[in-house]
Amino acid sequence: MKKVFLSAGFFLAFIMLSYTLDEKESLPEWFLPLREAVYEQVLGAEEVYQVYEGVLAKTNELSGAGRFSLSSHCEYLMGRAYQYFKNEKKAIEHYQKGYDEALQSLKIKESAEGRTYLAENLSQLCTLKNTIWVMAHGLDVEKFSKQALNLDPRAVKAQYMIASRWIYAPSPFSDIPKGLQMMKDILNGDYHIEKDDLFNLYVSLAYGNIKEKQKELARQWIDKALSVYPGNQFAGVELLSDLVQ
């Protein structure tokens, strides 16, 4: 599939116009173009990096724990972008920086947000590091996520990371039916679920159902994921390819 890349400036303007003022977001409005660029996957690597630089510059204008927690999430998103473009070295660099920024945030102030961003960067490092490193650090993802939930029981990202462990962990450490039910419980709960979290829930439900050989259910979840981010290549190409194997 040939991709048509848009300019970073055009994409940023488009994203800002696409949000209405009454949409509830925990992230600042100026942060959203980076998240959208990473998940929409219509920009090239250099264009995503331009968006990242602009968002990071605004993040660095802040002070206190909030600055470092937002910077942590910014690094995480850029890591996800590089991972999508198969540049694992760059992805690891950004995830590691995101992990360090979350630690800095927590040194200033303990928070569910800081614990969540610590866990999310670590979770992706675990997908890229070697087995020995993962064995030493992998369980901390769930530990940090539970610490976030102790501070804020409604932290959806933390709940998602705990649930995803059961779906993505290699056998015999996985329990896919358990993970799928936990994902559905999040969707059916009384939570505000932000756009990227909703997409990740749908993708994980699709992936889990593919593993369980439930292809029709998997296709329904893929369709839901693509209704959130139509341009996403992981959902629109890789998962659909897994579906037909």
pLDDT digits over 215-235, tens only?
Answer: 999 999 999 999 999 999 989
Measured between alpha carbons, how far is 116 from 166 in angstroms, rounded to an integer? Answer: 18
CB atoms within 10 A of CB 150: 12
198 close to 160: Cβ distance less than 8 angstroms: no
pTM, two decimal places = 0.89
The pLDDT of residue 24 is: 61
Nearest alpha-carbon partner for 200 in 232, 169, 174, 175: 232
H/E stretch holding 56 reads helix 45-59
Domains and CATH numbers, the chain: 1-153 (1.25.40), 173-245 (no CATH)
Q: Which amino acid is at 143?
A: K
pLDDT value of residue 84:
93
- Start-to-end CA distance of the chain, whole Å, equals 19
- 141-147, long-range: CB < 8 A, 24+ apart: 141/165, 144/115, 144/116, 144/118, 144/119, 145/115, 145/116, 145/119, 147/115
* Among the listed residues 46, 24, 23, 43, the one whose alpha carbon sits nearest the alpha carbon of residue 33: 43
| Helix runs in 169-236, H state only | 176-188, 195-211, 215-228, 233
pLDDT < 70 regions, the chain:
1-24
Per-residue confidence (pLDDT) for residue 22, from 0 to 100: 41
pLDDT at 2: 41
Question: Residue with structure tokens 């030493």?
Answer: 136
